[in-house]
Chain A
Amino acid sequence: MKETKDHAALAEAFNADEPRVNWHDETLWFIRQKRDKAAHTVADWELLRETASQIKHNVLSNLHDYLLQFEANAKANGIIVHWAADAAEHNRIVHEILQKHGVKQMVKSKSMLTEECHLNDYLSEHGVEVIDSDLGERIVQLAKEPPSHIVLPCIHKKKEEIGDLFHEHLGTPAGMADPQVLTEAARQHLRETFLTRRAALTGVNFAIAETGEFVICTNEGNADMGAHLADVHIACMGIEKIIPERKHLGVFLRLLARSATGQPITTYSSHFKKPREGHELHLVLVDNGRSIQLGREDFRNSLKCIRCGACMNTCPVYRRSGGHSYHAAISGPIGAILAPNLDMKKNADLPFASTLCGSCSNVCPVKIDIHDQLYKWRQVIVKEGYADTKKTLGMKAMTQAFASPTTFQLAGKAGRWFMRHVPFAVSNKMNPWYKQREMPAPPKESFGEWYLKNRKKKNE
């Protein structure tokens, strides 16, 4: 396999076009602001986050029993349950179901898990054509690119580029770049797809142990269009997607869309409990490294993630380096915690793609200590000998500055301290991913006296 470039090199390439980087940065920040506005409309936002976090902690501590309970209830509902230890087994299971039904064309709605497993490539090698039905995913599929963001797959693309793609593949007029017109063209094209595919694959947002049902959230309605028209519905989920009871959806559905896009809820939150009369509903439970991550005390909390994307939208590094620079299915801060679990050597660079400013942890709806985990991964990676010299150097400088980890217990605190006292060290060449710009201002609330004093001075 071709050696993949590391995050720093990919980020540098992305940074070659300064106006475009600024546009990308501002677009994501705009979504972050929408999230803030939505969160502020909920009086109990922090209590909601805390409750969601505690439910997820309970899930992780009792996952074995919840999985058994979910499986038993799903089966009783008539759902056919499969277990896949890894990506290869997942792909094989999906292919076997399609083979059994003689299906050569499948429609798929958004599923980051199938990206993680590279299902599309596998199926196409086996003669099955997959059409992604989420608009953003369809766009990157036509462009032969992976999604650059878990919620907004083509956030890196300009409408003119999308217009060109649609002109080439869907026959829209040359130069047409109006989002309204392009969306309508995709609607017509994909409606045809929905009406002719006999198998539909979807992801899963939440699976409920108590009832054996699962929930899929979309704005476009593509998961529902696919699933309710096809003879066979295959839903794929990571084993960490379990929640204990139906009523807990009342917590998670309040958080998910507000955190993701600032909407009060997604347009559709569909609960699939039983197959349609006379049709098959398959559910594939996938491990692919999750049970290992569960055993890593410092990193298991990453399995609480509900894939809202808020940590990406707020991350100063993500915003200015783009999702593709993370060379992993899940990009951004959470991706940088999940990827080293799957392949520490290949993804050794990712935990270094962070300022440790802590903004990700502040917005995370399930209160994952994202930046702490990034800091901890760095230590593991250096200890295991996977860090290259440049990163190790940056790492050493940081470590020296902190002197002792007990002095600055929280990595976030440490990162902020570092930026406050030696910002040049963060934005100089020692820090490989940050070449173009001075550091953005760290969050206001964590500034402290130093900043206030200096601002006063500056204003005098």
Chain B
Amino acid sequence: MSSRDSILAAVARNQPEHIPLPEIPAFFSGETDVLEKFTSVAVSIGSKVFRVKDLEEVKQVLLKEYSGARRIVSAFPELADIGEVYIAPATDPHTLANVDLAVLPAQLGVAENGALWVTDVQLPMRVLPFICQYLALVVPQKNIVPLMQQAYDVIGAQEYGFGTFIAGPSKTADIEQSLVLGAHGARTLSVFLLE
């Protein structure tokens, strides 16, 4: 018998009587102002948050905040004058190692934890939001939901090869519980809440 079959047989033999799957309750969110909540949580986990009218304003903030950035990659054609806006699908991801700033769209944000949902449907390369030194994510204000439950309601049966929630800059506290930002991923995260 293959390991697969013997494992499955042992599991079938040993699993208890069927216990039904519970309904997921409607959890209490309580927040009247999700943007306010999102902002305060995101800031508390090390993100910078900007409320902006349009991509032009995003550009102005980026130029000021990341004036030292040499290689900028973005997924917005509107930002073509400050960086590359196209990465060929066959590109070797290792060639992104020198990206200073990546500017990418997020589908939605979650107020309770400051996380933003990004999938490879919008990402030119999966590794981009991790390998860049600095990351900026742009999300429509109307797409901020209170809790993870609502986030997964929106995500639903969405199709993607890879998707990720990003909450703040990469971090570690492995050395004596001292928080250090910029472990292996992006050193900072700027979130733009678009009107």
One of B49-57, B66-74, B136-144, B162-170 at the interface:
B162-170
B147→A250 contact, CB < 8 A: yes
A405 contacts partner chain B, Cβ-Cβ < 8 Å: no
Nearest chain B CB to A50's CB is how many angstroms away?
8
Which of chain B's residues has its CB closest to A252's CB? Answer: B148
Contact with B along A138-182 (1 / 0, CB 8 A): 010000000000001111011100100000000000000001101
Contacts of B88 in A (CB 8 A): none
A135–B127 CB distance below 8 A: no
Flag if A274 contacts B161 (CB, 8 Å).
Answer: yes
- Cβ of A306 under 8 Å from chain B: no
> Closest residue of chain A to B169, judged by CB?
A267
Chain B residues in 8 Å Cβ range of A155: 177
Residues of A within 8 A of B4 (CB): 83
In the bound complex, CA of A152 to CA of B176 (Å): 10
Mark the stretch among A63-71, A373-381, A426-434, A449-457 that contacts chain B.
Answer: A63-71
Which chain A residues numbered 188 to 221 have a C-beta less than 8 Å away from chain B?
Answer: 190-191, 194-195, 211, 219-221
Complex partner residue of B7 from A43, A51, A85, A248, CB under 8 angstroms:
A85
* A61 pairs with B112, CB closer than 8 A: no
| Contact yes or no, A51 B22, CB < 8 A | yes
Check A253 against B148 for contact (C-beta < 8 Å).
Answer: yes
Q: Which residue of A lies closest to B185 (CB)?
A: A221
Question: Beyond A44-B27, A219-B183, A249-B152, is A54–B176 a contact (Cβ under 8 Å)?
Answer: no
Taking a contact as CB atoms under 8 Å apart, the answer to whether A225 and B176 are in contact is: no
Contacts of B176 in A (CB 8 A): 27, 157-159, 179
How many residues of chain A get a CB closer than 8 Å to chain B's CBs?
A: 91
Count B interface residues, CB 8 Å. Answer: 73
Give Cα A297–Cα B15 distance, bound, in whole angstroms.
Answer: 9
| Residue contact A225 to B167, C-beta cutoff 8 Å | no
B172's partner among A220, A239, A272, A294 (CB-CB below 8 A) is: A220
Segment 8-41 of B: residues with Cβ below 8 Å from A: 8, 10-22, 24-25, 27-28, 30, 41
Q: Kindly state the separation between the CA atoms of A450 and B131 in the bound complex, as whole angstroms.
A: 59
- Asked if residues A248 and B24 are in contact (CB atoms below 8 Å), the reply is yes
Interface 1/0 per residue, A11-46 and B, CB below 8 Å: 000000000000000010011000000000011100
Q: Which of A57, A187, A254, A265 contacts B182 (CB 8 A)?
A: A187
Interface of A is mostly: helix
Chain A 249-302 residues near chain B, CB threshold 8 A: 249-251, 253-254, 261, 263-277, 285, 287, 291-292, 294-295, 297, 300
Tell yes or no: A48 within 8 A of B by CB. yes
CB of A84, distance to nearest CB on chain B (Å): 6
Task: Note all chain A residues with C-beta closer than 8 A to B80.
Answer: none
The CA of A397 and the CA of B156, in the complex, are separated in Å by 56
Please name all residues of chain A whose beta carbon is closer than 8 Å to the beta carbon of B63 when the two chains form the complex. Answer: none
A61-B15, A64-B11, A229-B127 given as contacts; is B152 within 8 A of A250 (CB)?
A: yes
Note all chain A residues with C-beta closer than 8 A to B175: 135, 139, 154, 159, 162, 179, 182-183
15 A-B pairs whose Cβ atoms sit less than 8 Å apart in the complex = A27-B177, A44-B27, A48-B27, A67-B7, A89-B3, A133-B184, A154-B175, A182-B175, A191-B97, A244-B21, A265-B114, A267-B168, A291-B13, A294-B11, A295-B14
Instruction: Supply 13 further A-B pairs (C-beta < 8 A) apart from A54-B21, A135-B174, A274-B162.
Output: A27-B176, A43-B27, A54-B19, A157-B176, A159-B176, A159-B178, A184-B182, A225-B130, A228-B131, A246-B155, A250-B152, A265-B165, A295-B13
Listed from nearest, the 8 A-B pairs whose CB atoms lie closest are A221-B185, A295-B14, A220-B183, A264-B113, A228-B127, A136-B174, A291-B10, A274-B161
Q: B interface vs A, CB < 8 Å?
A: 2-4, 6-8, 10-22, 24-25, 27-28, 30, 41, 45, 89, 93-94, 97, 110, 112-115, 125-127, 130-131, 147-149, 151-153, 155, 157, 160-178, 180, 182-186
